């Protein structure tokens, strides 16, 4: 089984751009789609990115996803940071042996 490793926390100022990484421990990051979920305090998760870089309707284009095979990682980039973006973010993927794997989550602070 593989693991997805995220930084425990990141912080950035309003209006800036932040990138959250998600590194796959084994197997190719490009072999299986990566998803990103936002979880605000006291709320259930919502999807920000699916299939590596697709945004569900209603998610602003300030949110983007990408894959980097050289580092075997996925990234969530948030531009034009707003205080409302402050939340926990989780990546998620899968493979043939384990249908669902979540990263440990990253706490984004907008200060």
Partner 1 sequence: QVQLQESGPGLVKPSQTLSLTCTVSGGSISSGDYYWSWIRQPPGKGLEWIGYIYYSGSTYYNPSLTSRVTISLYTSRNQFSLKLSSVTAADTAVYYCARYYYDSNWFDPWGQGTLVTVSS
Shortest distance in whole angstroms from residue 96 CB to partner 1: 12
By C-beta, is 18 or 101 nearer to partner 1? 101
Shortest distance in whole angstroms from residue 14 CB to partner 1: 26
By C-beta, is 12 or 102 nearer to partner 1? 102
The number of angstroms, rounded, from the C-alpha of 111 to the middle of its chain's C-alpha atoms is: 20
What is the spatial distance between Cα 94 and Cα 89, in angstroms, rounded to a whole number? 17
- For 79, residues 6+ apart whose C-beta sits below 8 A from its C-beta are 17, 62, 64
Q: List interacting residues with partner 1 (CB under 8 A).
A: 1, 32-33, 35, 37, 44-47, 50-51, 56, 90, 92-94, 98-105
What is the spatial distance between Cα 52 and Cα 39, in angstroms, rounded to a whole number? 18
By C-beta, is 46 or 69 nearer to partner 1? 46
């Amino acid at each position: 089984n593989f693991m997805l490793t995220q930084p425990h926390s990141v912080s950035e100022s309003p209006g800036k751009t932040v990138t959250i990484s998600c590194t796959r421990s084994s197997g190719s990051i490009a072999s299986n789609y990566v998803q990103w979920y936002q979880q605000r305090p006291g709320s259930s998760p919502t999807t920000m990115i699916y299939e590596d870089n697709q945004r569900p309707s209603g998610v602003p284009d300030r949110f983007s996803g990408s894959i980097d095979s050289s580092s075997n990682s996925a990234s969530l980039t948030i531009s034009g940071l707003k205080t409302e973006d402050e939340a926990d973010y989780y990546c998620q993927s899968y493979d043939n042996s384990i249908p669902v794997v979540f990263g440990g989550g990253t706490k984004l602070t907008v200060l």
